[in-house]
Amino acid sequence: MSGRSLGRTVHFYDALQPDDVLGGLFLHPSVTQKNFLFMLEILIVAADPYSVSVRATGAILTPSEATLESGQYDIRSNIPGGTISITDELCIERLISSTASGRTEKFRNQVRERHGKCVITGTVKTMLYGNRWFGFEAAHVFPLCHEQLFVDSSFSRWITNREGEHDSGINSCQNGLLMQSNIHEEFDGFCFSINPDDNYQVISFGDDPFRLDGRGLDPVCLAAHSERGVRDELLRWHFRQAVLVNMRGC
């Protein structure tokens, strides 16, 4: 976790322990007060309602589209004696796999057919001859290396095009996005994520070398009620993981 904290320009604290940082954020222009508060809801454990204020001015944040400013933020329970803490929810490790199988080959082909371009940058696959997809990869939203967790957490229920009762659905195109190879690595590393509850906006959690922050997921993948569209529930899971990985700790 410690490497993820480098370069943070936002830090947040329990107001009753103002010297002990709970976490922070590498701030990019896409982050508004509204989505900062949304991300804090993933991280903060509190039995009672709480407020978040700018330490320098005391101003209370509201769920508005105003751009978040760099600085220190205090989180305070609205009930006297109420406590604030950071979640200890576990997050997973992503592993990039180059293993090929019949299942993953079908997954790749379906995602390629559906998209035809990187759905993050918009870069189109221009080789119109043969089956040459150099520089493009089909990314699993929920990682293939954690298929058992996918099953145990009942994510299979969101996949509507499974092939038989023994198919977990993890290799469904509903769990896939086509990306350029370097973008795929960033996605697997939770360096950025897509928030389906904020117009599918991309939020970067690091230094953003590929200028992804603030982009929107290409509409080609958003056929939410079709047999081919990526599932919001899986994007929501990935976004939660990215917040847990990148925003807590000193």
Q: What is the pLDDT of residue 132?
A: 72
Reduced DSSP (H G I as helix, E B as strand, rest coil) percent helix, strand, coil of the chain, to 5: 30, 20, 50
The size of the chain, in residues, is 250
The residues with which 230 forms a beta bridge, in sequence order, are none
Greater pLDDT, 112 or 50:
50
Greatest Cα pair distance in the chain:
68
State pLDDT tens for residues 155-200. Answer: 999 999 888 778 899 999 999 999 999 999 999 999 999 999 999 9
**Residue 7: C-alpha distances to residues 27, 70, 248 (Å):** 9, 12, 14
The answer, yes or no, to whether residue 101 has pLDDT greater than 70, is: no
Helix axes 232-247, 33-43, angle to 10 degrees: 80
Alpha helices for 5-130 (secondary structure H): 33-43, 102-115
If pLDDT is split at 50, 70 and 90, which confidence band does 95 have?
low
State pLDDT tens for residues 57-76. Answer: 999 999 999 999 999 999 99
Provide the b/e sequence for 222-244 (b: ≥16 CB within 10 Å).
beeeeebbbbeebbbbbbbbbbb
Domain 2-86: assigned CATH number: 3.10.20
CATH 3.10.20 occupies which residues in the chain? Answer: 2-86
**Residue 54: C-alpha distances to residues 3, 25, 65, 71, 76 (Å):** 25, 14, 16, 8, 11
pTM attached to this predicted model: 0.92
